[in-house]
Amino acid sequence: MNMKTYEEYAAECPLVAILRGVKLEETEAVCDALYDGGIRLLEITMNTPNALDCITRAVKHTAERQLVGAGTVLTPDEVDQVAKHGGKFIISPNTDPAVIRRTKELGLISIPGFFTPSEAFIAVNAGADYLKCFPCGRFGAGYIKDLKAVVAKPVYAVGGVDRNNLASFFPLCAGAGIGSALFKPGKSMEQIRIDALNMVEIWKKAAGK
């Protein structure tokens, strides 16, 4: 049973690796490569083939080393499925109060996507723990800075975040979700590890760690 909280993992490293398209048979190896690179939070997206089986494998394999959750979660039923397979946090690209409420009913961490202040306040009122500004890459940290003038909840930068702009989001943001800059189908395990090491180092310098 995993005893560490989401907050404890995020304190070690608040970068979430988005594993969109990870193959079932490589799940454990990808988890290991990311762990060796310093990544502690793993998001397996629901539009990945065999996503729930991948979550089960990742949860079993990582034990207490990393925390596994699901991304692109669009319905309360999907929240139920993720919980049954051991996922501990729910990330969505959108703001859906029903998804957020079900996430909290099951004791999971809720990280819905938002882009406008209106969506942010809807998410907060529904019980979200964190907010995922998506897509933020092309709009930059300045957009999130403006939003945070009125949005008190901690914000994750997601969508187009890479080694060229990651530093700009810290310490403004609580974390960042990183997709293809960390993992994409076909990338070697060694390259995943190297890219993770580089991204973690960028975060540490930017956040003053």
Q: How far is CA 184 from CA 10, 18, 20, 67, 89, in A?
A: 22, 9, 7, 19, 21
Average of per-residue pLDDT across 64-88: 97
Q: How many domains, the chain?
A: 1
Concerning whether 205 is annotated as a catalytic residue, the answer is: no
Concerning whether 132 is annotated as a catalytic residue, the answer is: yes
Q: Is residue 200 part of a domain?
A: yes
**How far apart are alpha carbons 197 and 182 in whole angstroms?**
10
Q: Which of 25, 43, 104, 105 is catalytic?
A: 43
Is the model's pLDDT at 3 over the cut of 80?
A: no
Average of per-residue pLDDT across 40-45: 98
Domain of 108 in residue numbering reads as: 6-207
Q: Which of 132, 184, 187, 209 is catalytic?
A: 132
Q: What does pTM read for this prediction?
A: 0.97
Average of per-residue pLDDT across 37-42: 98
Residue pLDDT, tens place only, 122-160: 999 999 999 999 999 889 999 999 999 999 999 999 999
Q: Is residue 54 part of a domain?
A: yes
Q: How confident is the model at residue 9 (pLDDT cuts 50, 70, 90)?
A: very high
Amino acid at 17: A
Q: Is residue 1 part of a domain?
A: no
CATH code at position 189:
3.20.20.70
Q: How confident is the model at residue 55 (pLDDT cuts 50, 70, 90)?
A: very high
Is the model's pLDDT at 2 over the cut of 80?
A: no
